[in-house]
Amino acid sequence: MSAPFLTSDPRPPRPAWVEVDLDAVEHNLRQIRSDLPAHVRLMHVVKDEAYGLGALEVARCSVRLGVDALATFTVGEAMRLRTRGIEAPILLLGERTEEEFPWLVDHRLMTCVGSLAVAEALNAFAAREQRRITVHLKINSGMNRFGFPWRSAADWAPAVARLPHLEIAGALTHFAQSDELIKTFARQQLANFQEAVAILRQSGVPVPCLHTCNSGGFLDLPEAHADMVRVGILALGVYPSAVCRRLPDLRPVMTVKARITALQHLEPGDTVGYGMRYRAETPRRIAVLPLGYGDGFPRVRNEGAALIGGQRAPLVGGTAMDAITVDVTDIPTAQLGDEAVLMGRQGDAEITAHDVAALKRSVSYDVLAGWRGRLPRLYVRRGR
Ligand SMILES: *Cc1c(COP(=O)(O)O)cnc(C)c1O
Residue of 367, 293, 354, 278 lying closest to 16 (CA atoms): 293
Tell me the CATH number at 275: 2.40.37.10
Asked whether residue 253 carries a pLDDT value surpassing 90, the answer given is: yes
Ligand 1 centroid, distance to 379 Cα (angstroms): 24
Q: Relative to the CA of 47, which ligand 1 atom is closest? A: 1
Bridging pattern class, strands 5-7 and 377-380: antiparallel
User: pLDDT for 39-83, tens place per residue?
Assistant: 999 999 999 999 999 999 999 999 999 999 999 999 999 999 999
Residue 274 among the catalytic residues? yes
What integer is the mean pLDDT of 77-104? 97
CB 52 within 8 A of CB 368: yes
Model confidence at 12, in pLDDT bands (50, 70, 90)?
confident
Confidence of residue 382 (pLDDT cuts 50, 70, 90): confident
Q: Does the pLDDT of residue 4 top 80, yes or no?
A: no
Marked catalytic residue, from 51, 183, 274, 365: 274
For residues 225 and 37, give the distance between their C-alpha atoms in angstroms, rounded to a whole number.
Answer: 9
Q: Is residue 12 part of a domain?
A: no
pLDDT for 2 = 45
Work out the end-to-end distance of the chain between its first and last CA atoms, rounded to an integer number of angstroms: 15
Residue of 307, 265, 308, 262 lying closest to 287 (CA atoms): 262
Atom of ligand 1 nearest to the CA of 240: 7
Candidate of 29, 180, 230 to mutate for ligand 1, largest count of ligand atoms within 8 Å of Cβ: 230
| Residues 220 and 108 grouped into a single domain | yes
The count of domains in the chain is 2
pTM over 0.85? The answer is yes
Residue 9: predicted pLDDT: 67
Last residue of a domain, one of 236, 266, 294: 236
State whether 203 and 275 are in the same domain.
no
> For residue 327, what pLDDT is reported?
98
One domain, residues 102 and 229:
yes
Q: Are residues 168 and 284 in the same domain?
A: no
Active-site annotation holds for 51: no
Task: For residues 247-251, give the mean pLDDT.
Answer: 92
pLDDT digits (tens, 9 = 90+) for 21-44: 999 999 999 999 999 999 999 999
Domain boundary (189, 207, 236) is at 236
Q: Which of 236, 271, 291 is the last residue of a domain?
A: 236
Asked if residue 351 belongs to a domain, the reply is yes
Residues 72 and 211 in one domain: yes
Distance CA(350)–CA(242), nearest Å, equals 16
Pocket-testing residue among 93, 138, 229, 367, ligand 1, by greatest number of atoms within 8 A of Cβ: 93
Q: What is the CATH number of the domain that holds 144?
A: 3.20.20.10
Looking at the domain assignment, is residue 101 inside a domain? Answer: yes
CA distance 216 to 183: 10
The pLDDT-based confidence of 1 (bands split at 50, 70, 90) is very low
3-state SS class at 22: helix
Lowest mean pLDDT among 110-114, 178-182, 305-309, 351-355: 178-182
CB 133 within 8 A of CB 124: no
As a whole number, mean pLDDT of residues 204-224 equals 96
Pairing type for strands 41-45 and 16-21 reads unpaired
Band (103; pLDDT cuts 50, 70, 90): very high
Q: Is the residue at 64 inside a domain?
A: yes
pLDDT at residue 209 is higher than 80: yes
Cβ < 6 A, ligand 1 pocket: 45, 47, 93, 174, 214-216, 230-234, 240
Distance, in Å, from the CA atom of 164 to the CA atom of 130, rounded to the nearest integer, reads 11
Give me the pLDDT at residue 6, please. Answer: 61
- Containing domain of residue 114, as a range? 36-236
Short-list 293, 290, 304, CA closest to 371: 293
